[in-house]
């Protein structure tokens, strides 16, 4: 009995050892076959999750979704925030041309504050400020524009106009000289040499540089670009008058009147026609005064009669009385 039990136990142990070996072998095989695949799967998904997280982080940073300095999350992206500086510049330009000066300044300021605006935004806002008679801010913008582009003819020209309003004629003359030099080196489609020379002629006239004024006006009139302004002839006539050249002055007044008679046909408003007619009347009177000085009484009388006709058409009683008085004094001559 004991032998049977011993044999049984011995057989049981042997079976147990024999059974254990296949289990161990099977376990080793699973470890050697499964472990490399499991590791590669974990690495693969780790890389995917890393790139997904990095992508959301970058997008959040660029659109203001991630936390900011004040701890505010999920900043709303508005249509206004997506507009570029160029969009605000174009809107400001459109508003300025339509007469909405305040709206133009607001849009141009937004464009400038964005940090992406170019020199034209400063020039345009300076022009808007000048229309509002805000000369300090206009001057600041023109100065900034010139600092950004020292060869910008428009910036110099606009600053010259501003200094003319401020009656700082010498500074304005220096700006016009710089505008002429810049326009020669780097032409701007916005400006014409005819206008630049005319403006310098006016400054020389105001500074009583008669010869310089005549030279500039003559240079302006010789330019083929643009439309001739009758005031250029009239202002050159003033310079001729100042040096005693009455004959050339009379010819210039006559030319200015002829140009007005041609241009008045294309006037689109009554205000324009009245303004041009008033200028022609003044030129007739000045021509009459020069003809009287030269002893050309008949020519002077003809000028005065023409001036009177215009005054009557304008219902300008004061001018009619003044002109009639001069005609009465000529009756005995």
DSSP string, 285-299: HHHHHHHHHTT-HHH
CB-CB neighbours of 69 under 10 Å: 5
90 lies in some domain:
no
Number of folded domains that form the chain = 1
pLDDT at res. 82: 47
CB neighbours of residue 310 within 10 Å: 21
The answer to whether the CB of 178 falls within 8 A of the CB of 196 is no
Q: State which residues of the chain have pLDDT below 70.
A: 1-83, 333
CA gyration radius for the chain?
44
Q: What is the pLDDT of residue 20?
A: 41
pLDDT in tens, 269-310: 999 999 999 999 999 999 999 999 999 999 999 999 999 999
Look over the chain and give the mean of its residue pLDDT values, rounded to a whole number.
83
Share of the chain above pLDDT 70, in %: 75
pLDDT at residue number 67: 42
Nearest to 309 by CA among 281, 271, 267: 281
Query: Could you tell me if residue 163 is inside a domain?
Result: no
Measured CA distances, 295 to 244, 283, 307, 322 (Å)? 14, 18, 19, 20
Residue 226 falls inside a structural domain: no
Instruction: Note whether residue 12 is domain-resident.
Output: no
pLDDT of residue 80: 53
**Structure confidence at residue 83 (pLDDT):** 62
Does residue 30 belong to any structural domain of this protein? Answer: no
Angle between helix 85-98 and helix 119-131 axes, rounded to 10 deg: 30
Q: Is the pTM of this model over 0.75?
A: no
Q: Please report the sign of the dihedral spanned by the C-alpha atoms of residue 164, residue 167, residue 169, residue 171.
A: negative
- 272 within some domain: no
DSSP 194-259: HHHHHHHHHHHHHTT-HHHHHHHHHHHHH--SSPPPHHHHHHHHHHHHHTT-HHHHHHHHHHHHHH
Residue 210, phi then psi, degrees to nearest 5: -60, -45
53 part of a folded domain = yes
Q: What's the confidence (pLDDT) of residue 123? A: 97
Domain extent, residue 45, equals 38-77
DSSP 8-state symbol, 66: S
pLDDT score at 115: 83
| Residue 51 lies inside a defined structural domain of this protein | yes
Q: Give me the sign of the Cα torsion angle 301, 303, 309, 311.
A: negative
């Amino acid at each position: 009995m004991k032998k049977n039990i011993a044999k049984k136990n011995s057989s049981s142990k042997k079976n147990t050892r024999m059974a254990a070996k296949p289990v161990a072998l099977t376990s080793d095989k699973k470890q050697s076959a499964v472990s490399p695949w499991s590791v590669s799967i974990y690495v693969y998904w780790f890389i995917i999750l890393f790139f997904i997280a990095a992508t959301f982080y970058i997008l959040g940073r660029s659109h203001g979704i991630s936390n900011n300095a004040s701890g505010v999350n999920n900043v709303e992206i508005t249509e206004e925030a997506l507009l570029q500086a160029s969009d605000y510049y174009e809107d400001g330009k459109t508003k300025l041309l339509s007469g909405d000066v305040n709206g133009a300044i607001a849009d141009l300021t937004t464009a400038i504050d964005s940090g992406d605006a170019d020199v034209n935004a400063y020039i345009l806002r300076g022009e808007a400020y000048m229309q509002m008679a805000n000369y300090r801010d206009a001057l600041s913008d023109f100065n900034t524009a010139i600092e950004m582009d020292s060869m910008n003819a428009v910036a110099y020209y606009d600053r010259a106009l501003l200094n003319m309003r401020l009656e700082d004629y010498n500074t304005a003359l220096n700006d016009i000289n710089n505008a002429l030099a810049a326009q020669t080196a780097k032409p701007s489609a916005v400006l014409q040499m005819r206008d630049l020379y005319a403006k310098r002629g006016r400054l020389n006239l105001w500074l009583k540089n008669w010869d310089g004024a005549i030279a500039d006006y003559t240079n302006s009139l010789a330019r083929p670009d643009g439309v001739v302004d009758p005031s250029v002839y009239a202002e050159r006539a003033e310079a001729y008058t100042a040096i005693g050249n009455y004959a050339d002055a009379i010819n210039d007044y006559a030319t200015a009147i002829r140009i007005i008679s041609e241009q008045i046909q294309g006037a689109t408003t009554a205000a324009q026609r009245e303004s041009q007619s008033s200028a022609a009347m003044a030129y007739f009177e000045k021509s009459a005064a020069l003809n009287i000085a030269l002893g050309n009484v008949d020519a002077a009388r003809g000028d005065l009669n023409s001036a009177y006709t215009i005054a009557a058409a304008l219902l300008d009683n004061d001018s009619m009385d003044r002109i009639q008085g001069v005609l009465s004094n000529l009756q005995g001559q």
